[in-house]
Structure formats: C-alpha cells, structure tokens
Amino acid sequence: MGNGTQRPVAVVTGAAGGIGAAVVRALAERGTAVAAVDRDAEALGVAADKLAADGLTVLPLEADVAAAEEAEAVAAAAEERLGPLEYLVNAAGVLRLGASWKLTAEEWETTFGANASGVFNMARAVVPRMLPRKRGAIVTVASNAAGTARMAMGAYSASKAAAVMYTKCLGLELAEHGIRCNVVAPGSTDTPMLRSMWGPGAGPEATLDGDPGRYRVGIPMRRLGVPEDTASSVVFLLSEESAHITMQTLTVDGGATLGA
C-alpha cells in the first residue's frame, strides 16, 4: 500500500473497538502508520497499547468527530506527527433503537452527529491535505441498513444512508484529483453494537434465522460477520488493487440483503 516512497498514513475513526479497531490493526500490520481516533479515551488507550506491544505504529487521538473543530485537530495532529495523510476510514458510529416517531431529538441528533456529520467533518479536515498531492483514498463504513428498511432503526438507517450518498458525491467531486471514495456496508457483525441489540429470545441464532414478523431475512451464509471481514474489504478499497474503483458500495453481509 502507499506510494512506495514512504510509509503511508491513515486516519481511522471509531478506532477503540469493533470494526474500527480491526481496520487499525489490518492497516498497521501492512506497514501503514495509523492515527486511531475515538471519543472513548480509556478504550482507545487499551487498544493502542495492545497494538504497540505488537510493534505496530499507532497514534491514539481522543476526539469526537461530530465536532468540526475536533476533526480538524485530529487531521492536523496526525499529519504533524505521522506525515502526509493518504487514507481516511470513517468507522465511527452509534446506534439508538426505537420506533422512528418516538425517538427523541437528542437520539436523532446524536446518531446523525456521529454517523453522518462525523463523515462530513473528517472529509473537510482531511481532503484539503490530500488535494495538493493528487492522491488518496477514503472509505466510509456504513451498513446494509442504509439501503434496507429496518424496524426500530430509523435514525441509524437514515444516518448511514446520508453517509453513503455524501461519500459518493465526494468521490465524484474528487475523482479528477486522484482521490477515490468508496463505502463498505457490513451486515450483522459480532461487535458490542450488535450484542447490545440482543435480549431474551434474540441472539446469534435469531440473527442467523431472521425474523419474518419484523420483515427481516436471516443470513444465508449461516454465520455472523466478524470485524476482520469488514476490515479486509476496507483495506482492499484503500489499496492500489482497487485503483479504478470509486463511488461504489461493497456489501459485506453474508447475503442478508439478498444481493440488493
């Protein structure tokens, strides 16, 4: 990965756990210097210590990407301490469950702040630093729920749909500058976010089987995703192996959306 003359530098948000942490490790193991960003300072520190113990180059940066000034500070610190920014991975996300008309304004705003505004804020901070070099790649980790209606997930689905279309519009505008923008859309992945949705009678088997009463099919491949599944797809879309791919969505859900 990278331009072959120096170690590439990536900024990864939502880096303290789940898919974000898997992306950080996958990139670092391939020789990328990673600025790992999360608002949970304690969890981020634990994750960064584990990576450092394995000899990987990771710079932990505490920030809430829903705040524009914090996103700008992250980009500035990453570039100053690691070098020119080549990759951005938007993996930060939150989930607020509830009937769409019963969600509070705070739940809606918090969801959009992390899932949509965070992507916008990071792009505004990182893209101007990529433009002079006429190279770079951005991947937004969205969800298969961005294109498939889900009960009790109105804010989450809508915010991820916004992030998807923003990323594709960004990709159109940046194509002539040599910067590619793509989306990875995971389905049910074994992370703390997924486990927070499980309750009595709802667990791994129920996720695999689906729920006709909630208009949700199961997973044809009969296994939950793991964070590394999504991380591998992110790495591919950042790499030169996907040099002619931009404005695309790669769905990683074991067939749960039936190829739609």
CB atoms within 10 A of CB 126: 25
Q: What is the CA radius of gyration of the chain?
A: 18
Q: Annotated catalytic residue: which of 87, 156, 166, 215?
A: 156
Kindly state the helix (H) or strand (E) to which residue 38 belongs, with its residue range.
strand 33-38
Contact partners, residue 130, CB within 8 Å, separation at least 6: 85, 86, 136, 177, 179
Q: Per-residue b/e over 184-212, b at no fewer than 16 CB within 10 Å?
A: bbbbbbbbebbeeeeeeeeeeeebbeeee
- Contact predicate 137/238, CB 8 Å: yes
- Residue 35 has which token pair? 């600025």
**Helix and strand tally (H, E) in the chain?**
9, 9
CB atoms within 10 A of CB 223: 12
Is residue 166 among the annotated active site residues?
no
- Contact predicate 183/140, CB 8 Å: yes
- From the list 198, 185, 191, 188, the residue with the least C-alpha distance to 252 is 185
Catalytic residue positions, numbered: 156
